């Protein structure tokens, strides 16, 4: 219903359009000449960090000075992954507040694959992830994680299974507020008796654009930065199963691509990744999409 729509990126007006000219967004050049190139355009044309600019006929032609890198993280869309063993097999029914939220939903999540669960708000995406993580019990059905029936485990045993094999990244990132970014990642690796050498943590920070924030207390970070720390923390333990609830919901376009690239890379390394999402970029990179009614 708006007359004019503008997009702000990095603190400046970057694009504007009206509801009628869908697909015809105008990039805004400010009075000093700054312009922000949209991520899809950069990926498509192989524009990385340096370009030559030349005047064309009523146009400016930008030419990358280096050939595009092969499948760099930002370009990693869909790549062929080989599914391994099923890490999760589930068939669950859940009633909440007198309503059947999940009605015999069946799914299998294989090692080395990126999987997405989609559905309107309230369709049970969060509930499904929580049941698969053993944080809630289904009213009927079974959840099998790495060959173990969660129904046969008590709370302590469920916690132990998660500590060893499962990473959970919730819809609202819960971080350790008294620690900095690196400290949050070190803590989860320590809790799993994994090596906490800097190199193993830095690769996640670099991939998610967090390197410059490594010693910043997480309590001062923006919502999007906190969410990327939560994604890094989930994947930095190289879990057998990673469950992420709307992991790109607070990201701008460039960072959506970063998050999707690290999820794809984690799957490539053998993790079974399951993400609840509305994000078309994440869904496009997935091996399987489960639609909840």
Ligand X SMILES: Nc1ncnc2c1ncn2[C@@H]1O[C@H](COP(=O)(O)OP(=O)(O)O)[C@@H](O)[C@H]1O
Q: Which of residues 60-99 bind ligand X (CB under 6 A)?
A: 96-97
- Measured from the CB atom, the residue of 21 and 95 that comes closer to ligand X is 95
Q: How far is the CB of 118 from Mg ion (least distance, A)?
A: 11
Residue 170 touching ligand X (CB under 6 A): no
- How many other C-beta atoms are found inside a 10 Å radius of the C-beta of residue 156? 8
Residue 118 touching ligand X (CB under 6 A): no
Answer for which of 86, 124, 134, 138 binds ligand X (CB under 6 A) is 124
Q: How far is the CB of 121 from Mg ion (least distance, A)?
A: 7
Residue 123 touching ligand X (CB under 6 A): yes
**Span of 18-26, 114-122, 190-198, 281-289 interacting with ligand X by CB under 6 A:** 114-122
Answer for which of 14, 127, 184, 277 binds ligand X (CB under 6 A) is 127
**Span of 34-42, 61-69, 117-125, 128-136 interacting with Mg ion by CB under 5 A:** 117-125
- How many other C-beta atoms are found inside a 10 Å radius of the C-beta of residue 35? 12
CB 275 within 8 A of CB 244: yes
Q: Which does 121 bind (CB under 5 to 8 A by kind): ligand X, Mg ion, none?
A: ligand X
Label residue 195 exposed, middle or buried (CB < 10 Å: 0-12, 13-18, 19+).
Answer: exposed
Q: If binding means CB under 6 A, how many residues of this protein chain bind ligand X?
A: 11
Q: Which does 96 bind (CB under 5 to 8 A by kind): Mg ion, ligand X, none?
A: ligand X
Answer for which of 42, 110, 118, 125 binds ligand X (CB under 6 A) is 125
Spatial distance between the Cα atoms of 83 and 58, rounded to a whole number of angstroms:
50
Q: Which does 127 bind (CB under 5 to 8 A by kind): Mg ion, ligand X, none?
A: ligand X
The token pair at 189 is 């690796």
Residues that bind Mg ion (CB under 5 A): 125-126
Residues that bind ligand X (CB under 6 A): 96-97, 101, 119, 121-127
């Amino acid at each position: 219903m708006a007359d004019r729509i503008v997009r702000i990126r990095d603190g400046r007006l970057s694009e504007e359009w009206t509801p009628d000219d869908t697909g015809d967004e105008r990039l805004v050049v400010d009075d000093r000449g700054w312009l922000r190139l949209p991520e899809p355009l950069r990926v498509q044309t192989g524009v990385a960090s340096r370009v030559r600019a030349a005047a064309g006929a009523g146009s400016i032609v930008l030419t990358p000075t280096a050939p595009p890198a092969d499948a760099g993280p930002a370009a990693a869309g869909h790549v062929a992954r080989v599914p391994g063993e099923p890490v999760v097999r589930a068939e669950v029914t859940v009633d909440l507040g007198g309503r059947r939220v999940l009605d015999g939903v069946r799914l299998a999540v294989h090692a080395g694959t990126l999987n997405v669960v989609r559905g309107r708000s309230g369709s049970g995406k969060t509930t499904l992830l929580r049941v698969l993580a053993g944080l809630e019990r289904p009213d009927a059905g079974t959840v099998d994680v790495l060959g173990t029936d969660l129904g046969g485990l008590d709370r302590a045993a469920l916690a132990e299974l998660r500590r060893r094999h499962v990473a959970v990244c919730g819809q609202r990132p819960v971080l350790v507020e008294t620690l900095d970014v690196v400290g949050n990642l070190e803590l989860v690796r320590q809790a799993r008796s994994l090596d906490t050498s800097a190199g193993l943590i830095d690769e996640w920070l670099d991939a998610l654009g967090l390197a410059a924030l490594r010693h910043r207390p997480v309590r001062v970070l923006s919502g999007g930065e906190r969410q990327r720390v939560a994604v890094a923390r989930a994947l930095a333990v190289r879990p057998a199963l990673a469950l992420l609830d709307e992991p790109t919901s607070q990201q701008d376009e460039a960072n959506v691509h970063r998050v999707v690239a690290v999820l794809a890379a984690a799957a490539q390394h053998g993790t079974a990744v399951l993400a609840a999402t509305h994000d078309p970029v994440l869904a496009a990179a997935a091996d399987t999409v489960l639609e909840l009614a």
